[in-house]
C-alpha cells in the first residue's frame, strides 16, 4: 500500500501546505469572478477529492463524473461560500451528496447481504483501475474489503485513513457528532478485521 500511495501522499502534502491566507485569497478572487483563481483551487484539491470519492465508490468512471460535477456545482455556488470555513470540507460535502444521488439513480442501495444472495462475491469482483495498480494480493483484498463496507462505515474510514482527516473534520463533512465518527470508525475497523482475518 505504501508503494501505490506515494504519489497520492505527495499530492496530499501539497494540498496541506497551502496556508489559509492563500486559500482565502483564491476563494475571494473566485467569488469576484476570477476563473483562473478557481482553476487553482481545482488543481489543489482534485486529486484529494478523487481519492475520497473513489474510496466511497470504487468505480473509476463514476468517480470522474462525480468529481467533475462537484467542481461545476462548487463554481456555481462559490459566491455563497462562507470564508470562515475551509474550502475542502465544503467541496467534499458537495461531492458526497452527488455520490449518494448517483447511487440512488443507479439503484445501488442493495445491502452487501442482498448482493451476496444474488451471487455477488466482493472477493472475486472485477478490479477497477486503481486496484490493478496494486501488485500484492493482500493489498487488493484490502481495497475490496473497504469497498464492501456499508457506506456509513466506509465514508468515515476513507476520510480518516485515506484522507487523514481529524475526527472534528470528519464530523463537519458528514454532519454527524464526533462521537458517532468514533463509533462508526470502530465498527468499520472491526468489519475489516473480520473480512481480512485470514490474512492477519
Taking each helix axis as running N to C, give the angle between helix 20-31 and helix 35-57, from 0 to 180 degrees, rounded to the nearest 10: 110
Residue 90: inside a domain, yes or no? yes
97/149 same-domain check = no
Residue % of the chain over a pLDDT of 90: 30
- Flag whether pLDDT at 181 surpasses 90: yes
2/94 same-domain check = yes
| Per-residue pLDDT band at 169 (split at 50, 70, 90) | confident
Whichever domain contains 194, its CATH number is: 1.10.10.10
Element (H, E) at 135: none
- Flag whether pLDDT at 134 surpasses 80: no
Reported as a single tens digit per residue, the pLDDT across 77-94 is 999 999 888 899 899 989
Residue 35: inside a domain, yes or no? yes
Which residues in the chain belong to E strands, given as ranges?
none
55/154 same-domain check = no
8/77 same-domain check = yes
Residue 123: inside a domain, yes or no? no
Give the chain's largest Cα–Cα span.
56
- Is the Cα dihedral 10, 16, 21, 26 positive or negative? positive
101/140 same-domain check = no
**Between these two residues, 5 and 158, which has the higher pLDDT value?**
158
39/102 same-domain check = yes
**Between these two residues, 198 and 82, which has the higher pLDDT value?**
82
Element (H, E) at 4: none
Domain limits for position 83 = 1-109
Check: CB of residue 74 under 8 Å from CB of residue 26.
no
Counting the structural domains of the chain, the total is 2
* 3-class DSSP string for 114-129: HHHHCCCCCCCCCCCH
Specify the pTM: 0.61
29/92 same-domain check = yes
Residue 115: inside a domain, yes or no? no
Residue 129: inside a domain, yes or no? no
Q: How far apart are CA 185 and CA 160, in angstroms?
A: 8
Task: Tell me what pLDDT residue 17 has.
Answer: 45
Whichever domain contains 77, its CATH number is: 1.10.1740.10
162/70 same-domain check = no
CA angle at 103 for the pair 91 and 56, rounded to the nearest 5°: 55
Amino acid at each position: 500500500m505504501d508503494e501505490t500511495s506515494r504519489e497520492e501522499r505527495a499530492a496530499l502534502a501539497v494540498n496541506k501546505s497551502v496556508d489559509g491566507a492563500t486559500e482565502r485569497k483564491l476563494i475571494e478572487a473566485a467569488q469576484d469572478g476570477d476563473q483562473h483563481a478557481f482553476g487553482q483551487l481545482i488543481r489543489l484539491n482534485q486529486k484529494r477529492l478523487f481519492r475520497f470519492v473513489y474510496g466511497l465508490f470504487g468505480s473509476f468512471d463514476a468517480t470522474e463524473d462525480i468529481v467533475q460535477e462537484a467542481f461545476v456545482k462548487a463554481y456555481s455556488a462559490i459566491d455563497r461560500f462562507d470564508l470562515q470555513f475551509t474550502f475542502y470540507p465544503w467541496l467534499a460535502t458537495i461531492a458526497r451528496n452527488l455520490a449518494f444521488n448517483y447511487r440512488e439513480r443507479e439503484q445501488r442501495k442493495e445491502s452487501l447481504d442482498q448482493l451476496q444472495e444474488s451471487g455477488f462475491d466482493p472477493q472475486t469482483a472485477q478490479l477497477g483501475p486503481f486496484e490493478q495498480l496494486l501488485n500484492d494480493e493482500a493489498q487488493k483484498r484490502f481495497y475490496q474489503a473497504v469497498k464492501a463496507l456499508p457506506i456509513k462505515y466506509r465514508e468515515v474510514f476513507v476520510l480518516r485513513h485515506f484522507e487523514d482527516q481529524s475526527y472534528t473534520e470528519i464530523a463537519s463533512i458528514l454532519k454527524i457528532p464526533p462521537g458517532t465518527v468514533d463509533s462508526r470508525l470502530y465498527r468499520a475497523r472491526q468489519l475489516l478485521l473480520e473480512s481480512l482475518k485470514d490474512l492477519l
